[in-house]
Amino acid sequence: MADKNFDILKGKWKQFEGDVQNEWGKLTDDQVAQVKGDVTKLIGLIQEQYGKSKSEAEEAVYRWQQKHEQELQG
């Protein structure tokens, strides 16, 4: 799942924490803050909190990333 936007996400994580919290409301503020843009951590938390498989969690994060494509580029 290597995507250049995931690298950009690390640099802009603070700006996207609220969006992530809105998308995956079961994640606590502390959990979201600890992700720090690390997509692997985010996928793991989604798996854990939502009972998703790794591929389901990866797909969810990919869809979220696609939705925020312009913001990540800007």
Looking at per-residue confidence, does 8 or 69 come out higher?
Answer: 69
Measured from the Cβ of residue 11, the count of other Cβ atoms closer than 10 Å reads: 10
At 45, the amino acid letter reads L
What percent of the chain stands above pLDDT 70? 85
pLDDT at 10 over 70: yes
Domains and CATH numbers, the chain: 4-73 (1.10.1470.10)
Instruction: Indicate yes or no: pTM above 0.85.
Output: no
Mean pLDDT in residue range 37-60: 96
Compute the distance between CA of residue 32 and CA of residue 19 in angstroms, rounded to an integer: 10
Measured from the Cβ of residue 27, the count of other Cβ atoms closer than 10 Å reads: 21
Mean pLDDT in residue range 6-32: 88
